[in-house]
Amino acid sequence: MIVPDRSANPFHMSGDVDFFLLREQERNKSRAEREQKTTLQVHQKMTYSSKVSAKHTSLRRELQLEDEMQDQEMRAEAERLRAFHDNTAWKLHMTKERKMESDNMNNYLNQKRQMFLIQHALHRKRSEVQRLEMLAAKEEAQLEQAEKSLEKDAALFDEFLRENDRSSVQALRVAEKETKAKVEKIIEIRDLTTQIMNIKSEISKFEDTLQHYKIYKDFLYKLSPKEWLEEKEKKHLDLKKTKEGTKPLKEKILFSTIGDKGPGNKGKTSSKDGQGPKKPWKFPQVARPGRLLSSTMSLQHSSQPSMSSGLDPKG
């Protein structure tokens, strides 16, 4: 009975290889690489694209070296077989009559198996190389697409910055115009405020002057003779009666002339009716202006209400 050689059969579990140990070694190796990367400087670190390209180039180089070594081994084996075939002893040994034994058949089958395994491994490696090349080409295409998209995004960002600059310049111009208009309005408001203050000061001056004139008027009324005051009161009553008598007639005339003259003259007519006939007063020259000014303050304290105090100061 022939015991098969397990070392020549590739289809069995290797007893000297622990796969769990290999996994632990790979994990420790990756952890050591990460720790080493943390200690690297900035210019020594690599980006994702450079890592991928470096992995592809290193893997391709290793595969090429492995293929070259296999080709060299196959050439050396072919040279050795050719030299062995050319040997005369081998030719004599092969030409001799010999019996086919089971060992020779097993050796032949083992050789065929090894040849098949080698061809299968070579085909698998070539297919793996092609797959990696296709993957590298796909990654390069994706990188090119990513670069194009980055360039497009950069162009769009530049356009956005230019548009933002234009809008900011326009906003600054609008702000300058608004600021200028605001300053002009402030200056105008300041001028109007100054004018209002001046007008108020003039009004206060006129009020003071009017107050002085009223005092002078009261003083003159007090100095006026009794006959003149009675005559003045009589004229005032007659004028009042005349106004009351002519008022209905004026209203009739006004209503009759509204349709002919229109509403534009209504204000003028009413203003004339409201004014009425007025005659300027004539005050008698009783005292001189110097005496009036000197005796004004004393009269304010010492004068008693006279008979003319009940009259209307406005006439």
Is residue 14 in a domain? Answer: no
Domain identity same for 259 and 191: yes
Q: What is the mean pLDDT of residues 295-309?
A: 40
Is residue 289 in a domain? Answer: yes
Domain range for 216 is 180-310
Domain count for the chain, please give it.
2
Q: Residue 238: is its pLDDT beyond 50? A: yes
Mean predicted lDDT score pLDDT of the chain: 74
Is residue 282 in a domain? Answer: yes
Domain identity same for 115 and 201: no
Domain identity same for 83 and 134: yes
Domain identity same for 243 and 288: yes
What's the 3-state SS for the chain? CCCCCCCCCCCCCCCCCCHHHHHHHHHHHHHHHHHHHHHCCHHHCCCHHHHHHHHHHHHHHHHHHHHHHHHHHHHHHHHHHHHHHHCHHHHHHHHCCCCCCHHHHHHHHHHHHHHHHHHHHHHHHHHHHHHHHHHHHHHHHHHHHHHHHHHHHHHHHHHHHHHHHHHHHHHHHHHHHHHHHHHHHHHHHHHHHHHHHHHHHHHHHHHHHHHHHHHHHHHHHHHCCHHHHHHHHHHHHHHHHHHHHHHHHHHHHHHHHHHHHCHHHHHHHHHHHHHCCCCCCCCCCCCCHHHHHHHHHHHHHHCCCCHHHHCCCCC
Is residue 4 in a domain? Answer: no
Domain identity same for 263 and 142: no
Domain identity same for 57 and 122: yes
- What is the CB-side half-sphere exposure of residue 248 using CA atoms within 13 A? 2
Domain identity same for 225 and 131: no
Domain identity same for 68 and 133: yes
Domain identity same for 184 and 79: no
User: 287: which residues sit within 8 A by CB, 6+ positions away?
Assistant: 223
Is residue 165 in a domain? Answer: no
Is residue 29 in a domain? Answer: yes
Domain identity same for 148 and 219: no
Is residue 170 in a domain? Answer: no
Please state whether the predicted TM-score (pTM) of the whole model is above 0.75: no
Digit-coded pLDDT (tens) for 246-275: 766 666 676 666 555 444 444 444 444 444
**Per-residue pLDDT, 304:** 36
Domain identity same for 185 and 301: yes
Is residue 9 in a domain? Answer: no
Digit-coded pLDDT (tens) for 27-43: 898 888 888 878 877 76
Domain identity same for 152 and 194: no
More confident residue, 86 or 188: 188
